Amino acid sequence: MAPTARAMRTMLGVCDKFASEFNVLFNANKSKCITFKKQSYLVTQAPPRHSASSLFSISGNCIENVYSWSHLGHILRANLLDDDDILSRRNSLVGQINSFLCNFSKVDVLVKNALFRVYCSSHYGSELWDLTNPKVEDYCVAWRKGLRKLWKLPYDCRSVNVAVVSNTVPLYDELCRRVLNFVRTCLHCDSPLVQAIVTNGVSAGMNSPIGRNVAHCSAYFNLSVGNIGASKLRSCDCSNMFNSKIDTQSAIQANVLREILLIRDGLLEFSSDLMEVSELDDFIMLLAN
């Protein structure tokens, strides 16, 4: 990475000098160049998908200019948006969920629910996303659909019911928690460079991707921005904040729904004098919405 084209050429020149001195050859075909544009540029136009001319070369070969490319598992775009990366991770999550449900189809729902958190909860790279991006909700929708399939809930089951039944916090809450903990880790990093970059990003507020995320997550959890680096936000803290937002009636309804689901799956017993087994599906449909 370099701030200017001149700085990049200087760095590539060092590589060429090294290659000549030690008789090695850098393969330009395995390298790509992305030119990130300022926000003022993005308002008027978007750069082309591929550029015919090359700005840089190495070992006498031109480096291809591209609009987006995958680097360390993340898809980078010249317009600095996360759309492609989020879509890629969503598709990967859907594949993980489908494989999980197929491989563990014979396991009871409680064990399956616990395993779901292990096999389908990596959310790799989400700490770097702009959480105000609308595509993040598409990722969360895929997660909720997976939980609905796991518990055999109606497709239109309320999100709060999905969270309570599965004993999880909404995925968006978890993503916000990870972002704040990532920023905290960077603020306490041993590298002065990382500390400086993140500190300046947080101070820049809405003018910085990190600052925007911190401001958004702080407002979402009703936390002070100044206390972000003070302590780690634990999963139980996130869960407590989510539960405090649920009204009593919704909480009771969701817990009753969970018990009926366990009865349906044979994990809880009930008196057949009170309810016919055939009526359970009707109660599930009623309580899920």
Q: What's the pLDDT score for residue 51?
A: 47
Helices (H) and strands (E) in the chain, counts: 12, 7
Whole-number CA gyration radius for the chain: 25
Q: What's the pLDDT score for residue 40?
A: 45
- What is the C-alpha separation between 255 and 257, in angstroms, rounded? 5
The C-alpha angle with vertex 251 and arms to 246 and 254, in degrees rounded to 5, equals 125
**Residue 57 parent element (H or E):** strand 57-58
In percent, the amount of the chain with pLDDT more than 90 equals 62
The C-alpha angle with vertex 203 and arms to 197 and 208, in degrees rounded to 5, equals 70
Reported as a single tens digit per residue, the pLDDT across 151-189 is 999 999 999 999 999 999 999 999 999 999 999 999 999
Reported as a single tens digit per residue, the pLDDT across 220-260 is 998 888 777 677 888 898 999 999 999 999 999 999 999 99
Q: What's the pLDDT score for residue 73?
A: 85
- What is the C-alpha separation between 55 and 231, in angstroms, rounded? 45
Of the candidates 176, 162, 163, 154, the residue with the CA atom closest to the CA atom of residue 280:
154
- What is the C-alpha separation between 76 and 199, in angstroms, rounded? 23
- What is the C-alpha separation between 85 and 238, in angstroms, rounded? 25
Contact predicate 254/242, CB 8 Å: no
- Pair of tokens at residue 228: 């972000």
Predicted structure pTM score: 0.85
pLDDT at residue 35 tops 70: yes
Q: What's the pLDDT score for residue 111?
A: 96
Average pLDDT rounded to a whole number, residues 65-91: 91
Q: What's the pLDDT score for residue 53?
A: 54
- What is the C-alpha separation between 214 and 212, in angstroms, rounded? 6
Paired strand residues for 58: 61
Coil, strand or helix: which one is 58? strand
Average pLDDT rounded to a whole number, residues 190-213: 89
Q: Read off the amino acid at residue 236.
A: C
Tell me how far the alpha carbon of residue 21 is from its chain's centroid. 44
